[in-house]
Amino acid sequence: MLLSDPFDALVQFQQSLDAFRASGWLNAGPSAGGSYPPLNVFRKGDDIIILTEVPGVRKDDLEIQVKGNTIRIAGRKAVQYGEGVSLHRRERTSGTFDRALTVPVEIDAERVRAECRDGILALYLTRAEHDKPKSIAIS
Amino acid sequence: MAQSRALEIQEKKELVSKEEKTVPGRYFVPAADIFETEDSLVVVMEIPGVEKKDVEINLENDTLRVEARIDYGKYDGLDPLYAEYNVGHFTRSFALSSKLDQDKIGAELTDGVLTLTLKKAKEALPRRIAIN
- d(C-alpha B32, C-alpha B8), whole Å: 16
What ipTM describes this predicted complex?
Answer: 0.80
Residue of B6, B81, B82 lying closest to A97 (CB–CB): B6
The CATH code of the domain at A26-80+92-130 is 2.60.40.790
What's the average model confidence in pLDDT over B123-127? 71
Residue type, B52: K
Q: Which residue has the higher pLDDT, B80 or B25?
A: B80
pLDDT of A6: 55
Closest chain A CA to residue B85: A38
Helix H or strand E segment including A116 = strand A113-117
What is the tally of structural domains in chain B? Answer: 1
The dihedral built from the CA positions of residue A122, A97, B112 and A60, taken in this order, carries a sign that is negative
pLDDT band at A60 (very low <50, low <70, confident <90, very high): very high
A134 touches chain B (CB under 8 A): no
Residue A73 has pLDDT above 80, yes or no: yes
Residue A139, SS3? coil
pLDDT in tens, A5-24: 555 654 554 454 444 454 55
Residue type, A33: G
Is B12 domain-assigned? Answer: no
A68 touches chain B (CB under 8 A): no
pLDDT of A33: 56
Contact A10 B87 (CB under 8 A): yes
Is B70 domain-assigned? Answer: yes
- d(C-alpha A66, C-alpha A128), whole Å: 13
Range of the domain at B47: 26-75+85-123
What's the average model confidence in pLDDT over B63-79? 85
A40 touches chain B (CB under 8 A): yes
Residue spans per domain, chain A: 26-80+92-130
Average per-residue pLDDT for chain B: 84
What pTM, to 2 d.p., does this model score? 0.80
Is B112 domain-assigned? Answer: yes
pLDDT of A18: 44
Q: What are phi and psi of A123, to 5 degrees?
A: -115, 125
Contact A7 B47 (CB under 8 A): no
Residue B94 has pLDDT above 70, yes or no: yes
The CATH number of whichever domain residue B37 belongs to comes to: 2.60.40.790
- The DSSP annotation for B73-126 comes to GGGTTPEEEEESS---EEEEEEEPPTTEEEEEEEEEEETTEEEEEEEEPGGGS-
What's the average model confidence in pLDDT over B112-124? 87
Q: For chain A, what's the residue count?
A: 139
Contact A97 B47 (CB under 8 A): no
Contact A35 B8 (CB under 8 A): yes
What's the average model confidence in pLDDT over B29-37? 93
Q: Which residue has the higher pLDDT, A90 or A23?
A: A90
